[in-house]
Structures are given as structure tokens and as C-alpha cells.
Structure 1
Amino acid sequence: MSLKICQSCQVSRKLLKQQHKLSEYVAATTLPRRYYTNLKDERLKQIRDRMIRVDHAGEYGANRIYAGQMAVLGQTKSGPLIQHMWDQEKEHLRIFETLMPKYRARPTVLLPIWNVAGFALGAGTALLGERAAMACTVAVESAITDHYNNQIRELMASSPDLSENKELLDYIQKCRDEEQEHHDTGIEHEAEKAPAYNALTNFIKGGCKAAIWLSERI
């Protein structure tokens, strides 16, 4: 009888040890999983915040550029074309204004600067003529299309589950496609015949890239 009790005690002790080891294993595997899930969620939030902020700034600046061009060329034969592109930019801006509160993204503090700089760029190039205005469009849209392509690649690489970023991806792809259309429209309307085309477009592209870099961070 005593032998059976001892054997039973040994079995109980073994079971307790196994349960303890199992509890330790579960704790050791569950905590890191939770930690990495939270880390991934925070990283995705930072990516979205940065993208929505800079895209909102870019579309805001584009609206101001077209406003400047319309102020100078609105009554010319180029007016309806510029208005059409501006209307699409207004829709892009509306999209990111809607996404900002939804994803709790903050706007860049540089909007007042982009307000003035965008209008000045649009009006200034329009004063040089319709071809120069189209050259401005080509340069800006080239920089923005490259920027959107980079964002699409980053979003697709940030999570194997594309559904997590589907809404943002769809909107960025829509804006990218229309910006490319604006670029092609500028080429079709003799942008490359503008005075000092290469110097002008390289200068504007450089300014756009600097604005993108700043708006992502400030």
C-alpha cells in the first residue's frame, strides 16, 4: 500500500513538473509574440502617419500651384486643361484630408510655407508662358509619381497581409495614376519646348524632393 502511495506521489510530482514547464514555455512564447505584434502595429502606424502627412502636404502644394497657374492663364486656351488637372488635385487633397483624422495622422507644420511657395511657383512659371507652365507640371508630377511609387513599394513590403494597407494603397495608386496622366499631358502640350526646359525642370524637381523630405519629418 505504502509503495503504491509513493508511486502515486512520484507520478503527481512528474505531472506538476511537466505542467510547470508547459506554463513556462507558453509564457516564453506568448510574450514575445505579443511584443512583436505590438511592435509591428506601432511600426505600421508610424509608416501610415508619415505617408499621409507628406501626401496631404504634396496635394496641398499641388493645389496651390494650379491656383497660381489659373490666376495667370485661366482666361487663355490652356485654362480648361489646367482647371481639369486642378479639379483632380482637389479630389486628391480631399482624400488625404479624410484619411488624416481616420488614421490620426498630423499635418506638417510647413503648410503655410507650401501655401505661398506653391502659388508663387504656379504663377511664376505661368508668367513665362504656357509651355513653361506645362514644364512645371511635368517636373512636379514626375517627382510626385516617383514618390508615390516608392510609397507603394514600402507599403507592400511592410506587411505580408496586404489587406492591412489596402485602403491607403488603393488611394495612393489612384493618385499616382492621375499624376502620371498630368505629366503625360504636360509633355503632349509642348512642355519640352519651354525656355531652359532642363534647367527649369531640374530646379523644380529638386525643390519637390526637398519639400517631400521636410514634410515627412516636420
Structure 2
Amino acid sequence: MATALQSAVRRTFLPRQCYTLVTRSISTSIPSWHTSNPPSTSAFSTEHSIDTTGSDASPSNSPVPPLRLSKEQRELLEEMIRVDQAGELGANWIYRGQYAVLGSDKKVGPLLQHMWDQEKHHLKVFDGIISQYRVRPTALRPIWEMAGFALGAGTALMGKEAAMACTEAVETVIGGHYNDQLRELLKIDHPDIAELRKIVQQFRDEELEHLETAIEHDAQKAPQHELLSNAIKQGCKAAIWISSKV
């Protein structure tokens, strides 16, 4: 389940108009990362094509050119995918914890379920990407699951506003993290990376929608909001850095 906060895109105190100006909506269809011929060697170093239709049809007769990346670029992409998969895992368990406490609430429960369903899909997509490219996943999955559930359930037990403050803080960091990744991915010109950019961009937009939802549902009315928010943001940043290494 995250690097520097987005510096030019979205802050929690910005009005919706600013958010609209700096975030670009993309197609609601999410490319499939199924491939009938997964790469046989290390990620981002071989010639292969991506089937974005989800079918088992053969690749086009015109092969996708190999990814000619430096060692630093390959390492950067592998870190990105590992961190993104870990981040979506953590977010999934945060919403699981919140829903366990507040799921029966007629007002908050459906909101949590909607956001949780999107996180489930995000995780499923990144599970596929990490498998396709044979990127080493984080070794700390059990820890992120427990920590995510504890954070989600703990803030939910503090009240609806605290649960929304948790979502606001987490999605601020994740949205900023995705924006940082997009800037790096724009430097690499290859069809595979173009598809990854589409996924990162769409997921970024959905995470920021979660942030907007949290603000609209009284996140900033949580007791000790600033203290709680800053603590959660720092925890997310630490989790991002650790997941990129371990």
C-alpha cells in the first residue's frame, strides 16, 4: 500500500476546481494485463507484447520492440510495480478494517463498500502485472495486511469522521505517489510503458476520488484531525520506502 506527496496536483485544502484543473479523467475501461506468452527472463528486458483485450488471441504480426532500458530504469520500474502492488494491498486491508466496524452504517457503509471494491480491483490488476513481469513482490505482505486492517478498524472505532480522515490522508499520499510515477513513466517511450501509464493514471484518478469523498463526508471534522492526518501520512510514506526495498 505510496515517496513524496504530489507537489503540483492536489492538497486536501484545495477546492474542487483546482483538483479538476490538474487531474485528467481517462477512460473507465481498464486494460487487461493478460498475456498468453509471459516473458521468460527478467522484467523489462525482453521482447514481448501485451494483450490489452484480455483474449487468448495471438499477438500482432508486428512485434513490439524490446524495452531498451538502462539498469537504473529497469530497477525503477520494478520498484514502482512492487510498491504499487504493496500499496493497493494495504489500502485493501484498510477498507476491510473500516468496513468491519462501520459496514452496517446505512450512510457510511455503502461508501466504504464502493471504495473497497475499487481497491480490490486495483490489487487484482497489480497482482497480474507483478506476475507477468516477474517482479519480486514485497516480502512484508503479512505485515502490511495486519497494519492496514489495524489502521482501518482503529480509526473506524474512533468514529465516522476519523475513518474518513484516515482515507483522506492515505489517498493524499497514494495520489501524490502515482503522480510522481507518471512523471517518470512519461520519460520512457514504449507500448508496454504506455499501457502501464494508463493504469497508473486511472488508478490515480480513482484514489483522488476517494480523497474527495472523504472530505465531503467530514474527514476534517475528526478529533485532532491535523495530528491524526500527519501521523497516517508519515506512516504511508515510510511504508512506501520500505516496500521499495524489501
User: Which band: TM-score by shorter chain?
Assistant: 0.7 to 0.9
Give the drift of 1:163. Answer: 2.9
Structure 1 residue aligned with 2:109 = 79
Distance 1:109 1:136 in 2: 25
Structure 2 residue aligned with 1:119 = 149
Q: Which has the higher helix share?
A: 1
Structure 2 residue aligned with 1:57 = 86
Structure 2 residue aligned with 1:201 = 229
Unaligned runs of 5+ in 1: 1-36
Distance 2:201 2:164 in 1: 23
Q: Among 116, 139, 144, which residue is 1:109 paired with?
A: 139
Q: SS at 1:40's partner residue? A: coil
Unaligned runs of 5+ in 2: 1-65
Q: Does 1:144 align with 2:174?
A: yes
Whether the aligned pair in 2 keeps the contact of 1:156 and 1:162 (CA below 8 Å) is no
Q: SS at 1:106's partner residue? A: coil
String of CA shifts for 1:134-188, please: whole Å, max 9, x gaps. 000000000000000000001112x2x2534111111111110000000000000
Distance 1:97 1:43 in 2: 23
RMSD: 1.5
Distance 1:215 1:141 in 2: 17
Aligned CA distance change for structure 1 residues 166 and 39 (closer, same or farther; 3 Å): closer
Q: Among 57, 70, 73, which residue is 1:44 paired with?
A: 73
Q: Among 67, 70, 74, which residue is 2:99 paired with?
A: 70
Question: What is the one-letter code of the residue matched to 2:239?
Answer: A
String of CA shifts for 1:178-199, please: whole Å, max 9, x gaps. 0000000000001000100000
Distance 2:92 2:81 in 1: 16
Question: What is the one-letter code of the residue matched to 2:198?
Answer: D
| Pairs aligned (count) | 180
* TM-score normalised by structure 1 residue count: 0.79
Whether the aligned pair in 1 keeps the contact of 2:89 and 2:145 (CA below 8 Å) is yes
Distance 2:224 2:191 in 1: 45
String of CA shifts for 1:34-70, please: whole Å, max 9, x gaps. xxx9972544332221111000000000000000001
Aligned CA distance change for structure 1 residues 106 and 198 (closer, same or farther; 3 Å): same
Question: What is the one-letter code of the residue matched to 1:40?
Answer: L
Instruction: List 4+ stretches of structure 1 deviating above 6 A.
Output: none
String of CA shifts for 1:88-136, please: whole Å, max 9, x gaps. 0000000100101111111101111101100000000000000100000
Question: What is the one-letter code of the residue matched to 2:103?
Answer: G
Question: Which structure has the bigger radius of gyration?
Answer: 1
String of CA shifts for 1:16-44, please: whole Å, max 9, x gaps. xxxxxxxxxxxxxxxxxxxxx99725443
Aligned CA distance change for structure 1 residues 40 and 197 (closer, same or farther; 3 Å): same
Greater relative contact order: 1 or 2 (C-alpha under 8 angstroms, separation 6 or more)? 2
Distance 2:67 2:125 in 1: 28
Distance 1:125 1:43 in 2: 39
Distance 2:68 2:213 in 1: 43
Deviates more, 1:39-48 or 1:171-180: 39-48
